[in-house]
Protein backbone atom coordinates (compact mmCIF):
# COMPACT_ATOMS: atom_id res chain seq x y z
CA UNK A 1 0.00 0.00 0.00
CA UNK A 2 2.89 2.36 0.77
CA UNK A 3 4.28 1.92 -2.76
CA UNK A 4 0.88 2.74 -4.24
CA UNK A 5 0.65 5.92 -2.16
CA UNK A 6 4.14 7.05 -3.15
CA UNK A 7 3.39 6.45 -6.82
CA UNK A 8 0.10 8.34 -6.54
CA UNK A 9 1.94 11.18 -4.83
CA UNK A 10 4.49 11.27 -7.65
CA UNK A 11 1.70 11.55 -10.24
CA UNK A 12 -0.15 14.25 -8.30
CA UNK A 13 2.99 16.31 -7.66
CA UNK A 14 4.00 16.12 -11.31
CA UNK A 15 0.53 17.16 -12.44
CA UNK A 16 0.55 19.98 -9.89
CA UNK A 17 3.84 21.34 -11.13
CA UNK A 18 2.56 20.98 -14.68
CA UNK A 19 -0.36 23.22 -13.75
CA UNK A 20 1.99 25.61 -11.95
CA UNK A 21 4.17 25.92 -15.06
CA UNK A 22 1.04 26.46 -17.18
CA UNK A 23 1.46 23.44 -19.40
CA UNK A 24 -1.45 22.87 -21.76
CA UNK A 25 -4.01 20.61 -20.06
CA UNK A 26 -3.79 17.93 -22.75
CA UNK A 27 -0.04 17.49 -22.05
CA UNK A 28 -0.27 17.21 -18.25
CA UNK A 29 -1.16 13.47 -18.26
CA UNK A 30 1.98 12.74 -20.30
CA UNK A 31 4.12 14.70 -17.83
CA UNK A 32 2.43 12.88 -14.93
CA UNK A 33 3.18 9.56 -16.60
CA UNK A 34 6.81 10.65 -16.91
CA UNK A 35 6.93 11.42 -13.20
CA UNK A 36 5.45 8.00 -12.46
CA UNK A 37 8.01 6.29 -14.71
CA UNK A 38 10.93 8.15 -13.14
CA UNK A 39 9.75 7.50 -9.59
CA UNK A 40 9.15 3.81 -10.31
CA UNK A 41 12.59 3.34 -11.85
CA UNK A 42 14.28 5.13 -8.97
CA UNK A 43 12.43 3.01 -6.39
CA UNK A 44 13.15 -0.22 -8.30
CA UNK A 45 16.84 0.65 -8.58
CA UNK A 46 17.06 1.54 -4.89
CA UNK A 47 15.22 -1.68 -3.99
CA UNK A 48 17.72 -3.62 -6.12
CA UNK A 49 20.51 -2.20 -3.94
CA UNK A 50 21.95 0.47 -6.21
CA UNK A 51 23.41 3.60 -4.66
CA UNK A 52 21.44 6.85 -4.68
CA UNK A 53 23.55 8.32 -7.49
CA UNK A 54 22.94 5.41 -9.85
CA UNK A 55 19.25 5.16 -9.00
CA UNK A 56 18.75 8.87 -9.76
CA UNK A 57 20.92 8.57 -12.87
CA UNK A 58 18.92 5.67 -14.29
CA UNK A 59 15.57 7.29 -13.54
CA UNK A 60 16.60 10.60 -15.06
CA UNK A 61 18.14 9.02 -18.16
CA UNK A 62 14.95 7.05 -18.78
CA UNK A 63 12.92 10.21 -18.22
CA UNK A 64 14.98 12.16 -20.75
CA UNK A 65 14.45 9.45 -23.37
CA UNK A 66 10.72 9.40 -22.57
CA UNK A 67 10.47 13.20 -22.83
CA UNK A 68 12.31 13.23 -26.16
CA UNK A 69 9.99 10.58 -27.56
CA UNK A 70 6.90 12.39 -26.28
CA UNK A 71 8.24 15.66 -27.69
CA UNK A 72 8.18 14.10 -31.14
CA UNK A 73 4.75 12.53 -30.63
CA UNK A 74 3.11 15.65 -29.15
CA UNK A 75 5.09 18.12 -31.30
CA UNK A 76 6.15 20.09 -28.23
CA UNK A 77 9.51 20.91 -26.65
CA UNK A 78 10.96 18.10 -24.54
CA UNK A 79 11.28 20.42 -21.53
CA UNK A 80 7.49 20.64 -21.31
CA UNK A 81 7.48 16.98 -20.26
CA UNK A 82 10.91 16.79 -18.62
CA UNK A 83 10.83 19.62 -16.08
CA UNK A 84 7.62 18.71 -14.22
CA UNK A 85 8.48 15.02 -14.41
CA UNK A 86 11.76 15.51 -12.55
CA UNK A 87 9.99 16.95 -9.49
CA UNK A 88 9.34 13.55 -7.79
CA UNK A 89 13.07 12.78 -7.99
CA UNK A 90 14.15 15.87 -6.08
CA UNK A 91 15.26 15.25 -2.48
CA UNK A 92 12.99 17.75 -0.73
CA UNK A 93 12.91 16.38 2.81
CA UNK A 94 16.61 15.56 2.92
CA UNK A 95 17.49 18.99 1.54
CA UNK A 96 15.31 20.64 4.18
CA UNK A 97 17.04 18.74 6.99
CA UNK A 98 20.44 19.57 5.51
CA UNK A 99 19.66 23.29 5.43
CA UNK A 100 18.17 23.17 8.93
CA UNK A 101 21.34 21.50 10.25
CA UNK A 102 23.56 24.09 8.55
CA UNK A 103 21.52 26.97 10.01
CA UNK A 104 21.65 25.41 13.49
CA UNK A 105 25.41 24.91 13.15
CA UNK A 106 25.22 21.12 13.45
CA UNK A 107 27.75 20.29 10.74
CA UNK A 108 27.84 16.58 11.56
CA UNK A 109 24.11 16.25 10.82
CA UNK A 110 24.47 18.53 7.80
CA UNK A 111 27.11 16.17 6.43
CA UNK A 112 24.97 13.12 7.21
CA UNK A 113 21.96 14.58 5.40
CA UNK A 114 23.93 16.46 2.74
CA UNK A 115 25.91 13.63 1.16
CA UNK A 116 22.82 11.72 -0.09
CA UNK A 117 21.34 15.03 -1.30
CA UNK A 118 24.46 15.78 -3.34
CA UNK A 119 24.57 12.23 -4.70
CA UNK A 120 20.93 12.48 -5.76
CA UNK A 121 21.35 15.88 -7.38
CA UNK A 122 24.53 14.81 -9.18
CA UNK A 123 22.75 11.67 -10.44
CA UNK A 124 19.94 13.81 -11.84
CA UNK A 125 22.37 16.25 -13.48
CA UNK A 126 24.61 13.59 -15.00
CA UNK A 127 21.57 11.62 -16.16
CA UNK A 128 20.20 14.65 -17.99
CA UNK A 129 23.57 15.49 -19.51
CA UNK A 130 24.45 12.03 -20.80
CA UNK A 131 20.97 11.04 -21.96
CA UNK A 132 20.40 14.32 -23.81
CA UNK A 133 23.81 14.02 -25.45
CA UNK A 134 23.00 10.56 -26.79
CA UNK A 135 19.46 11.55 -27.81
CA UNK A 136 20.73 14.54 -29.77
CA UNK A 137 23.48 12.47 -31.40
CA UNK A 138 20.91 9.88 -32.51
CA UNK A 139 18.63 12.63 -33.83
CA UNK A 140 21.58 14.23 -35.63
CA UNK A 141 22.55 10.96 -37.28
CA UNK A 142 18.95 10.14 -38.23
CA UNK A 143 18.09 13.53 -39.69
CA UNK A 144 21.47 14.52 -41.07
CA UNK A 145 21.08 15.84 -44.61
CA UNK A 146 22.95 13.83 -47.25
CA UNK A 147 26.25 15.20 -48.51
CA UNK A 148 26.41 16.52 -52.02
Return the domain boundaries, the chain.
2-142
Q: For residue 19, what are the CA distances in angstroms to 3, 28, 30?
A: 24, 8, 13
The neighbour count for residue 113, using CB atoms within 10 Å, is 21
Residue 1's pLDDT band (cuts 50, 70, 90): low
Q: Give percent of the chain with pLDDT exceeding 90.
A: 82
pTM beyond 0.85, yes or no: yes
Mean pLDDT for the chain overall: 91
Among 81, 89, 91, CA closest to 40: 89
d(CA 47, CA 73): 32
d(CA 38, CA 40): 5
40-94 tens-digit pLDDT: 999 999 999 999 999 999 999 999 999 999 999 999 999 999 999 999 999 989 9
Amino acid sequence: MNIFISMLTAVISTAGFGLFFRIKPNRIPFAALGGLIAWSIKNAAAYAGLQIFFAAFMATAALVVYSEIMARVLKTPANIILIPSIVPLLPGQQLYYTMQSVIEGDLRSAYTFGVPVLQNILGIGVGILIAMFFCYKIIEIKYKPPRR
